[in-house]
Homo-oligomer: A and B are copies of this chain.
Amino acid sequence: MTVMEIAALPAVVHIREVGPRDGLQNEPVILSTAQKVKLIDLLSATGLQAIEVGAFVRPQQVPQMADTEAVFAGITRRPGVVYSAIAPNVIGARRAIAAGADVVQVFLSASESHNRSNVNMSIEQSLAQVAEMAALVHGAGKPFDAVLSVAFGCPFEGDVPVERVLDLCQRLLDLGAEQLTLGDTTGMAHPLLVQEVVRAFRARFPRQPLRLHLHSARGAGLANLLAGLQLGVDLFDSSIGGIGGCPFAPGAPGNLCTEDVVHLLHEMGINTGLNLPALMATARELERMLGHEVPGQTIKAGICKHLRDREPAL
């Protein structure tokens, strides 16, 4: 395949901020609960409508997420913002509901080895939890979403057949999941693969919204985002400062960086509803919290001169 498809680019893109969860969980520096609360409150002030607050997993597995209940209790809820959490199983879903997550998202992997490495269950064991999780979450009156990790390739197994990805999406939908996210958990996608998977997803689930969670392990994250945009994808995950990756995937730096994504989208005339200077200030505050530079490039280079006048003052 040597031709990339193109549709009208979306006029509006909705970003879900995953820095407090997918970003921080891969950080060696453990932030205090107060720092996480401050980070999330800064993020909700930038115009973000969706923020992944944390994960309800075993603290021994991901120490950075041990205080997710306390983080939920500490944040100031801004009207209109959806504060979500991820959970791998029924226990996690119960904790997420009790903590007050607006949306609970299950995560499982499209490859057996990654799922086992990530949550110590087979894919079938994970799926066996999903029906009960969906019932619990829906019973609490909240949306139940799912993310399918390593949907563009597995660091252990290599290629992941698109048919398997779609079959797992079908299972998740049948079991009660609403919004689906396909994760390029370790940055193995490339533009043609993004388009192949998105096209196949659209063909199989024509009315189902699709969110992409891309990583930029080899610098191609924004090229992959562009490939998705060109097929009209308008839901993306990204991480403030570009922090984080998958703690159980070897050699996997590089969430998409929120402010780099927003800079690119605004340059292209695509509306995000986000305040870019406020995002950049938040990324700088995050650097102070972590005590080191973050990978994002826009905070180093600054807002491009021909975009600067169109952005709000901080």
Binding site for B on A (CB under 8 A): 1-9, 11, 153-159, 187-188, 190-193, 216-223, 225-227, 230, 242, 251-254, 257, 260, 263-264, 267-270, 296-298, 300-302, 304-306
A220 contacts which chain B residues (CB < 8 A)?
Answer: 222, 260, 263-264, 267
Residue contact B264 to A230, C-beta cutoff 8 Å: no
Interface hub of A242, A253, A254, A301 (most chain B Cβ within 10 A): A301
Residue contact B153 to A304, C-beta cutoff 8 Å: yes
A242 contacts which chain B residues (CB < 8 A)?
Answer: 219
A269 contacts which chain B residues (CB < 8 A)?
Answer: 1-2, 192
A300 contacts which chain B residues (CB < 8 A)?
Answer: 251, 253
Residue contact A306 to B153, C-beta cutoff 8 Å: yes
In the assembled complex, the Cα of A159 lies from the Cα of B304 at a distance in Å of 10
Residue contact A188 to B268, C-beta cutoff 8 Å: no
Other A-B pairs, 4, CB within 8 Å; known A6-B230, A219-B260, A253-B297: A2-B9, A190-B267, A191-B226, A191-B268
In the assembled complex, the Cα of A182 lies from the Cα of B11 at a distance in Å of 29
A221 contacts which chain B residues (CB < 8 A)?
Answer: 219
A26 CB, min distance to chain B CBs, angstroms: 13
A154 contacts which chain B residues (CB < 8 A)?
Answer: 305
Nearest residue, chain B, Cβ from A188: B304
Residue contact A298 to B218, C-beta cutoff 8 Å: yes
In the assembled complex, the Cα of A159 lies from the Cα of B307 at a distance in Å of 9
Assuming the contacts A153-B306, A188-B305, A223-B226, asked whether A297 and B257 have C-beta atoms less than 8 A apart, the reply is no
Of B4, B257, B301, the contact of A253 (CB 8 Å cutoff): B301
List 3 tightest A-B contacts by C-beta distance, closest first. A190-B267, A219-B260, A217-B301
A189 CB, min distance to chain B CBs, angstroms: 9
